[in-house]
């Protein structure tokens, strides 16, 4: 039987480690770490995600506020809002929830966030720190993947790792983090020739391509560790029937949709030696790593961490 890499277990470990760090900041500086989330527009998925961040911050004693400017806000107005947050001493972390409305230049906005408050790890300064192996704020999802592998004592050093996807949010930083763990890393994308064959070379396969159940048994080396970063909502019944067994289809008929990752769940469970389920895997760690980044930003800004 394959080992299921349970995200809730690792999330709870990380949260337990965060609490004394929050208490230490409060004890020494008279205030908790502070997180500001900027949410623009009416994206239901983003709203759910932000509520999860708010709940977790409150559980850990982290001060947090969600700022919801008008959906029609311009790039320049949003930049002014972020610059104001950059100057507020009680705010240690700033997160701009993506995606932003079409009229906003997302790159300009993300560049406006002060690097020391960039708890998403997207600013080029922090990307540079990652690329050169220096301490800094790391993108939350790939950092969560490394936490998952390390805490389950899955060896990374010397392993062949394949990352499917080259996004700035997951794919590129994931490849850099695996390199730092001494894996031999291949990054795949839409132009990769014979993608299944390349994926089959992986002892650790990370799927972050954003296509529901695209990675099937043909892509997986028997015994590989499979990390599924994808999160796709399936609302088409015919597609759901091709992916899920009868027990899951009962849930589909009840809810009208099901979540699936980028890897076919049945194939992953059948071929892999260990895998992250969807839901219940990597997705649970993203918010926990955001809280860890917020605490780290506060520790650096207050001098507790060099």
Question: Over the stretch 91-138, which tens digit does the pLDDT of each residue have?
Answer: 999 999 999 999 999 999 999 999 999 999 999 999 999 999 999 999
- Residues involved in catalysis: 53, 97, 120
pLDDT of residue 261: 95
Residue 168 counted as domain residue: yes
Residue 177 counted as domain residue: yes
Lookup: tokens for 45? 């998925």
**Over residues 58-79, mean pLDDT:** 96
**Over residues 54-71, mean pLDDT:** 96
Instruction: Verify that 86 and 163 share a domain, yes or no.
Output: no
**Over residues 271-286, mean pLDDT:** 96
Instruction: Verify that 280 and 155 share a domain, yes or no.
Output: yes
Confidence of residue 150 (pLDDT cuts 50, 70, 90): very high
pLDDT of residue 47: 87
pLDDT of residue 37: 96
pLDDT of residue 305: 82
| Helix ranges restricted to H, the chain | 7-29, 44-60, 75-87, 106-112, 124-131, 140-151, 171-180, 195-199, 237-243, 246-255, 265-271, 283-302
Place of tokens 């100057």: 87
pLDDT of residue 283: 92
Beta-carbon contacts of residue 109 (< 8 Å; ≥ 6 apart): 75, 78, 79, 82, 96, 100
Lookup: tokens for 154? 């899955």
Residue 268 counted as domain residue: yes
pLDDT of residue 126: 97
pLDDT at 253 over 90: no
Residue 290 counted as domain residue: no
pLDDT of residue 159: 98
Smallest CA-to-CA distance from 15 within 282, 299, 292 is with 292
pLDDT of residue 134: 95
Which pTM value belongs to this model? 0.94
Q: What is the pLDDT of residues 171-208, one digit of tens each?
A: 999 999 999 999 999 999 999 999 999 999 999 999 99
Number of domains in the chain: 2
Domain CATH for 88: 3.40.50.10860
Strands 204-207 and 160-164, by their bridges, are: parallel
Q: Tell me 38's DSSP state.
A: E
pLDDT of residue 23: 97
SS3 189: coil
Euclidean distance between CA atoms 232 and 85, whole angstroms: 33
Q: What is the pLDDT of residues 76-87, one digit of tens each?
A: 999 999 999 999
pLDDT of residue 40: 96
Residue 123 counted as domain residue: no
pLDDT of residue 46: 86
Place of tokens 């730092």: 180
Instruction: Verify that 72 and 182 share a domain, yes or no.
Output: no
pLDDT at 306 over 80: no
- Answer whether 244's CB lies under 8 Å from 258's CB: yes
Structural domain for 266, as ranges: 140-285
Query: Can you give the C-alpha Rg of the chain in angstroms?
Result: 20
Q: What is the pLDDT of residues 19-53, one digit of tens each?
A: 999 999 999 999 999 999 999 998 888 888 889 99
């Amino acid at each position: 039987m394959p080992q299921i890499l349970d995200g809730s277990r690792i999330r709870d470990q990380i949260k337990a480690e965060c609490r004394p760090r929050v208490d230490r900041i409060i004890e020494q500086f008279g205030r908790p770490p502070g997180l500001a989330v900027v949410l623009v527009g009416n994206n239901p998925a983003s709203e759910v995600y932000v509520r999860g961040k708010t709940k977790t911050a409150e559980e850990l004693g982290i001060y947090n506020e969600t700022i919801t400017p008008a959906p029609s806000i311009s790039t320049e107005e949003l930049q002014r809002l972020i610059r104001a947050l950059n100057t507020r001493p009680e705010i240690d972390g700033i997160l701009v929830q993506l995606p932003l409305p079409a009229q906003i230049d997302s790159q300009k906005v993300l560049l406006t966030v002060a690097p020391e408050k960039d708890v998403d790890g997207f600013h080029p300064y922090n990307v540079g720190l990652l690329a050169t192996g220096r301490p800094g704020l790391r993108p939350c999802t790939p950092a969560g993947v490394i936490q998952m592998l390390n805490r389950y004592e899955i060896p990374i050093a010397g392993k062949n790792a394949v990352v499917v996807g080259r996004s700035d949010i997951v794919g590129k930083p994931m490849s850099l983090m695996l390199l730092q763990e001494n894996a031999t890393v291949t990054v795949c994308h839409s132009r990769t020739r014979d993608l299944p064959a390349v994926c089959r070379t992986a002892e650790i396969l990370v799927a972050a391509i954003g296509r529901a159940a695209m990675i099937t048994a043909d892509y997986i080396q028997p015994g590989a560790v499979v990390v599924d970063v994808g999160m796709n909502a399936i609302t088409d019944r015919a597609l759901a029937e091709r992916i899920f067994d009868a027990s899951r289809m009962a849930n589909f008929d009840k809810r009208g949709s099901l979540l699936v990752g980028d890897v076919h769940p049945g194939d992953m469970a059948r071929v892999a030696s260990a895998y992250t389920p969807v839901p219940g895997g990597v997705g649970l760690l993203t918010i926990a790593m955001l809280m860890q980044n917020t605490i780290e930003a506060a520790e650096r800004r207050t001098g507790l961490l060099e």
